Chain A
Amino acid sequence: MEHLLKVESVEKIYGKGANTFQALEDISFAIDHGEFVGVMGPSGAGKSTLLNVLATIDTPTKGDIYVEEDNIAKMKEDKLADFRRDHLGFIFQDYNLLDSLTVRENILLPLAIAKQPAKEIEEKVNTISRSFGIEGLLDKYPYQISGGQKQRTASCRALVSNPKLIFADEPTGALDSKSATDLLESLSSLNEEHETTIMMVTHDAYAASFCRRILFIKDGRLSKELIRGMHTRKEFFQMILDELAELGGDGNDLV
């Protein structure tokens, strides 16, 4: 089967002239349909840069990124916008909800943008909010709900249009452990039941243990890959910790 996402020798250089910084160096990998991939690495390793480049928020200096047939590294501005609308979903550490819209309106925003009929929108919003357990909050405003609820709202927004690929940038970064677990369990079950493909950047080993596969990144390069396979989540968590200890030697930064 064809890969959903294929990254080929991607490079990202910031700055100009003598004052440059290479954030990504010759990165290549592929993600298949229905995977739940984590990207880990110490601070400043290039995790977020990689995610931004893949998510079309930033452009790579070199290399190709294919989502199925489309090379998004070479796509024009307008086509990219359409592409984001039709195929990508985003979850951020700081939610990025619009304060002036209710939870329901925030969730349906991508559908409204895609000009879907109101009846369908209603249905989809109800379904997705139920699967994240926030169906009772639909008419509240973002300032009236907790951080965990906000992140679940943001996740609903990312998933409601049923995109091919979800990008999550430290989604649990600002959440307490209970909210984080709830969110990760919801994402994980969506991944298992609906085969939603998710790529998540995190430096939290616990969050990463929900993934099926982990890519480790260090100094802008891919350094190692870890696959959960038939292991339990607990075992996988231990494997990740071991790997991190070996990788950086500095566990403080990672847990």
Chain B
Amino acid sequence: MTLFDLALKNIRRNMKSYGLYIGSTIFSIIIYFTFATLKHSDDISGLAETSKQMQAIMSASAFVLMIFVAIFILYSNSFFMKRRKKEVALYSLLGVRKRSIGFLLFFENIVIGLLSLIVGVGLGFLLSQALLSLLLKLMGLSLSVGFAFSMQAVIETVVVFFLIFLVTSLLGYRVIYKFKLIDLFHAEKKGEEQPKARMISAVIGVIALVAAYWLALQDLLTSSAWRILGLAMPLVIIGLTILGSYLLFNSVLVYVLNVLKKSKTWAWKGLNLMTSSQLLYRIRGNAKTLTIIATLSATTITAGGAIFGTYYNTEKSVEELTPFSFMWEGEEQDIDEALIENAISFDTKEIVVEGEVYDQYYYVIGEETFKKLTDSLGWDIENLNLNKDEAIMVDPFYDERLQDKVDTVVVDNDVKKVEQLYEEPLFNLPTLPGTTLVVDDASFGEIDGENATYQAVQVTDYKDHLDLSKELEAKTENFSSAVQNYQDTIEASGAMLFVGSFLGLVFLVATGSIIFFKMMTEAEEDKDKYAVLYKIGVSKKEMKKTIRYQVGLIFLVPLVLGLMHGAVALMAFSNLLQMNLWEPIIIWMIAYTMIYILYYVITVRGFNKTITQTVTQEG
């Protein structure tokens, strides 16, 4: 029996701790391979017209994913190595050279890597097929997809993970070289210095966060901050946010815990003292992890919120862009009467008003037409009675930041005062883009302009009439339809949506796993303390309470900060697109919090299990 056999045996018997590690590497590989397959899939890249752009998005996402997966594996690897310190120390004590131990661990890691790659690619293949059909469904397409097995994706995955495993193996090797035998025998660490809250870092942290938020909420078009910083702006914002979060975790938490600990009435009650000390001693080391978690949470919330919000708003934006089910220029067409809710035939005149800087084109319609159209669209219009010198303007592209408000318009030498400005589109914009001027019917008759007839039709359940839309499109000019627009929007954003939701999901799972690993490491470190507590008569119930608090704080704090970051980022996002996204964003945040709470419950369970096992073994 050689040392190698013993090591193999050890793997088999230690399947639980190995299982956790192998599981997380397989998980990472599945995720990455699935993504790589989708990236290289012809079906996907053929979908979007701007497939180059699509490829770019996919490549960028793959990069983000790669970094993420690397961090994740490094994390689980270091957790795994910690658990095996005793074994390694014993080998060393019994006279195995460090080089041999290093080689053993290196070899083991490579074997685990290879196994995970095989399993991961296999499962990833199945998952990618499922996701591919889901994606196509999400995009509202009924294409039949053959099995897309991409050799390119396999190669890419193998290369990426080979590199990651090489790095973790080398790191493991380094651990062996750094470790001193005496550490095993003097388990009690040198007394760590009690962390003190540094006021200055708290202040800098708050300032950094406020600055980041302020910058994020600056208007892209008018703010001088954007002019000065330009494209570096997002980086500055992200940098400030991360710095601010880190400093906050580092100082404010320490401060709060110190205050709590000093308050005797609170601290000297039950296990409060223990809980707060525990957290206090860990906080410095935890600040980094907490920052990572807060950043990941913020990213997930922002990406998810933006994606979900956009998807949620597709319908709304479609209805804004094409308020009428169908619109075209020319004569009426035969449409099944039963479908029609409203059909309006009207005339427009196109006029040119000479301006100081540039000429302005207007579509002019009569008051009667305006009433019919707004009636059909359900606008709430006050009793209209336009005089000869009055007019109404409808400009869906009006932006007060970019243009001055027009007060008067000169039409055929008549000065007309603009009584009212509507910013919602009155027509389907693809058919009739631009600004509309509404004048009284008498004036309309007199105006000299290029005359045209248009049809606007409203049907019930516009999304169900793609065939009709196609039929009409073939027969008419300047045609636009809500259903076609809807289809196009979904298709264009569908891939984006998918990439976004996929990444969001990955980040979500990974955030939870990182906290889980973190807490399980702490459980390993704390179990002796809990064993002592149990021996001096602390009930299991009380210990569980402490655990709930200890784990709870580590979960809660980054979540709060992540939600805050996410909320600000999404506010900026909705300002940028001038969409009201609050409803979907709040739904998404609630969903995220629910999933997060689920992680919390799972982690507390795991923590409890580790502690209870130790306590009952020794007690």
Partner-B contacts on A (CB < 8 A): 48, 52, 56-58, 77-78, 81-86, 88, 90, 92, 96, 98, 100-101, 105, 108-110, 112-115, 118, 121, 169
Contacts and interface: CB of A to CB of B under 8 A. Distances in A.
Contact of A81 (B1, B13, B14, B92): B92
Contact of B185 (A52, A83, A101): A52
A52 B422 CA distance: 87
Contact of B13 (A84, A101, A113): A101
A100 B9 CA distance: 8
B531 to A, nearest CB: 13
Given A57-B181, A77-B98, A112 B10 contact: no
B13 A100 contact: yes
Given A105-B6, A112-B3, A118-B1, A98 B94 contact: no
Interface in B1-37: 1-3, 5-6, 9-10, 13-14
Given A52-B182, A98-B87, A121-B1, A109 B94 contact: yes
Given A82-B95, A88-B95, 15 more contacts: A57-B181, A77-B98, A98-B10, A98-B86, A98-B87, A100-B14, A101-B6, A101-B9, A109-B6, A109-B90, A112-B1, A112-B2, A113-B91, A115-B2, A121-B1
Interface of B: 1-3, 5-6, 9-10, 13-14, 86-87, 90-99, 181-182, 184-185
Nearest to A84: B95
Contacts of B13: 100-101
**Sorted from nearest, which 6 A-B pairs have the closest CB atoms?**
A85-B95, A100-B13, A84-B95, A81-B97, A58-B182, A57-B181
A228 B184 CA distance: 34
Contacts of A86: 95
B432 to A, nearest CB: 77
Residue from B1, B99, B184 having most chain A Cβ neighbours under 10 A: B1
B7 to A, nearest CB: 10
Contacts of B92: 81
Nearest to A15: B190
B5 A112 contact: yes
Contacts of B96: 81, 85, 113
B91 A90 contact: no
Contacts of A114: 95
Contacts of A52: 182, 185
Contacts of A100: 9-10, 13-14
Nearest to A96: B90
Nearest to A121: B1
Contacts of A85: 94-96
* B9, B95, B182, most chain A CB atoms within 10 A: B95
Contacts of B181: 56-58
A95 B86 CA distance: 12
Contact of B90 (A48, A78, A98): A98
